[in-house]
Amino acid sequence: MRLAGDSAAWRAFWRNPSALVGLTLVALVVLAALFANVIAPYPSHAGPVGDFAAMSAGPSAQYLLGTDTIGRDLLSRLIFAYRLSLEMAIVVLAIATPIGVTVGLLGGYLGPVSSYALMRLTDVFLAIPPLVLAMSITGFLAPSAIHGMMAITAMWWPWYARLAYNLTRAEKQEGYVLAAETVGASTPHILFREILPNCMPAILTKMTIDVGFVILIASSMSFLGLGAQAPTPDLGSMVADGARYMPDAWWLTAFPALAILIVVMGFNLLGDGLREAADARD
């Protein structure tokens, strides 16, 4: 299931309406996060100070999505929260994927003893429900965005180890691996130059979907107070703070919740579209 450079797969992708919706949502979120300073109507409201003359104001022409209890523009804070969320997701996946994939490749290719040891190690991490593991690690440290990232990375790599393990087990039987072994290629060469490139489409698809899920887990943690601390804008803690002023200041909860839905669903649809396009080719 190779995607890059395959025109049939790309045609399938461009003809899939839900994939295009996903792509649009993702593009909007990424652009907003990248150019937060330019796009946000009140960039300074990402900090602790807002407009004290307009506290807890509902949506209006001046403040499109309303203001919070100390008069900070909700739209600006959401845009900056997207920036933090995407940063977290990228850092988590950039660390968790190489670790997990390496463990999975080794586990799938090496002999039964090291394979057993590596995969039982993976099982230990998978035996703890993901959110519980991430929260308890943050609990041992101290609640902050950095520690949240470390904790989520620690719970995320085993899923890539599982994926790479299963892929490697299948690829190991292929002729090109046998050929490489026959000409005496080194194990690192076979793992990273022969097998890994053939696993990349599946790994990249999972990474796309996972961007949304990392953001979901991170916002769940900050909802409980285990993520970024005030005054940093964060999707989860904004929902938590807003829920205290329900139902009067409904916009404080409704819009951050909607923002989470948009980003998670965007990456979800995009990832599904990529997978279906890759499948369409096979």
Partner 1 sequence: MPPLLRALIHRLVASLVVLVGVSMLMFAIARVIPGDPARIALGPNATEAQVQALRHERRLDQPIPIQYWEYMRELVRGNLGNSLYSNRPVRVDIAQYLPATLELIFAAGVLMTLIGLPVGVLSARYRGGWGDHLGRTGSIPAFVWAVILQLMFAYLWRLFPIEGRLTAALAPPPTVTGFLLVDSVLAGDGRVFFDALHHLALPALALAMAGIGQTSRLTRASMVETYRKPFIEMAHAYGFSESKIARRYAFRPALTPVLTILGLDIAALLGNAFLVESVFGWPGLSHYGVEVILHKDLDAIVGTVLIIATAFLIANIVVDLLVALVNPRIRFAGDRS
Q: Which residues are at the interface with partner 1 (CB under 8 A)?
A: 120-121, 123-125, 127-133, 135-143, 212, 216, 219-220, 223-226, 236, 239-240, 243, 246-247, 250, 253, 257, 260-261, 264-265, 268-269
CB of 257 to partner 1, least distance (A): 4
Q: Are 104 and 165 in contact (CB under 8 A)?
A: yes
Please state, in angstroms and rounded to a whole number, the distance separating the CA atoms of residues 195 and 110.
13
Judged by beta carbon, residue 6 or residue 276, the one nearer partner 1 is 276
CB of 68 to partner 1, least distance (A): 16
Please state, in angstroms and rounded to a whole number, the distance separating the CA atoms of residues 109 and 271.
27
Judged by beta carbon, residue 94 or residue 261, the one nearer partner 1 is 261
67: helix, strand or coil: strand
Q: Are 106 and 114 in contact (CB under 8 A)?
A: yes
Judged by beta carbon, residue 146 or residue 261, the one nearer partner 1 is 261
CB of 115 to partner 1, least distance (A): 15
- The residues near 134 (Cβ < 8 Å, ≥ 6 apart) are 148, 151, 152, 154, 155, 217, 221
CB of 151 to partner 1, least distance (A): 10
Q: Identify the bridge partners of residue 73 per DSSP, sorted by sequence position.
A: 67
Judged by beta carbon, residue 32 or residue 263, the one nearer partner 1 is 263
CB of 27 to partner 1, least distance (A): 17
11: helix, strand or coil: helix
For residue 247, cis peptide bond before it (omega within 30 degrees of 0): yes
Please state, in angstroms and rounded to a whole number, the distance separating the CA atoms of residues 180 and 122.
28
Q: Which amino acid is at 69?
A: T
Please state, in angstroms and rounded to a whole number, the distance separating the CA atoms of residues 13 and 82.
26
CB of 246 to partner 1, least distance (A): 5
Judged by beta carbon, residue 1 or residue 121, the one nearer partner 1 is 121
Cα separations in angstroms, 35 against 82, 146, 166, 232, 259: 11, 22, 39, 17, 17
73: helix, strand or coil: strand
CB of 187 to partner 1, least distance (A): 27
Judged by beta carbon, residue 72 or residue 275, the one nearer partner 1 is 275
Judged by beta carbon, residue 42 or residue 268, the one nearer partner 1 is 268
